[in-house]
Amino acid sequence: MCRRFAVCAAWLLICSAVLLAAACRSSPHVASPGETAAASPGAGEATVAIYVASNGWHSAIVVPSAALPPGAFPEAGDFPGAPYLSFGWGDAEYFPAPDPGLGVTLRAILRPTPAVLHLAGLPSHPREVFPADEVVELPATSRQFAALLAFLDAAFDREGAARARAVAPGLHRFSRFYRAKGEFHLFNTCNTWTARGLEAGGWPIRVSGTVTAEDLMTQVRALAKRQDADRPTGRVAPDET
């Protein structure tokens, strides 16, 4: 997650006025009573610590391998022994390119394009692997964690096979790119995808209008602050700071 993501910078230059207008029209997300309950585990309820990581442009969802049910994510077999798995989504041409040119960048921005998943088997805690990135912990109930895993699993485009095909080496020695479902475009970025994953897990987060990393992380920080005030004592995956 240390590489530059010029697609986001170019997007800001081209469309900042459009996004500003959209942001001004958007009303803040107000959690319903049911959403609030989903975001705050009950006292004594065991939770799993999941993480949302951002380098300021791109975001990813990180889950602890020890908490995964048997057989989850056949692609995880490419990273045996990794204590954490990081999932990021993006444009299939731009994301894996070591040095994407202007044409690739503009295609990623201006029209819907195929997507890939960047799966990384982190060798240690995400805060240790990416010390310069923002890494926010969110406690997940068993129901939230199962729903989040279902979302991540469904993001792979396995084309009827047992596992998705790796299409390129990853950004790190411990990662690979895989075919993914969905299309990347101006209003469906990696950060939109991350927000959609959290929403699928039951966290009260606004997906519409979440385009930049800051759009996402502003909400994630608020969720973490709210959940930290009512953090249960039982936890499956303790924080390893």
In a domain, 39, yes or no: no
In a domain, 37, yes or no: no
Q: What is the pLDDT of residue 166?
A: 93
Q: What is the pLDDT of residue 92?
A: 81
Mean pLDDT calculated for residue range 133-139: 98
User: Residue 177's domain spans which residues?
Assistant: 6-27+47-237
Q: What is the pLDDT of residue 99?
A: 53
Instruction: Tell me the pLDDT tens digit for each residue of 62-105.
Output: 999 999 999 899 999 999 999 999 999 998 876 665 555 444 44
Q: What is the pLDDT of residue 51?
A: 98
Please count the structural domains in the chain: 1
In a domain, 166, yes or no: yes
In a domain, 32, yes or no: no
In a domain, 36, yes or no: no
In a domain, 34, yes or no: no
In a domain, 42, yes or no: no
Residues in contact with 83: Cβ distance below 8 Å, sequence separation at least 6, in sequence order: 64, 65, 66, 122, 123, 124, 125
Q: What is the pLDDT of residue 236?
A: 52
Mean pLDDT calculated for residue range 164-173: 94
Percent of the chain with pLDDT over 70: 69
Instruction: Tell me the pLDDT tens digit for each residue of 11-37.
Output: 444 444 333 323 322 333 333 334 434
**Residues 182, 126: Cα–Cα separation, whole Å:** 26
Q: What is the pLDDT of residue 20?
A: 31
What b-and-e string marks burial along 107-140, b requiring 16 or more CB atoms within 10 Å of the CB?
Answer: bbbeeebebbbbbbbbeebbbebbeebbbbbbbb
In a domain, 80, yes or no: yes
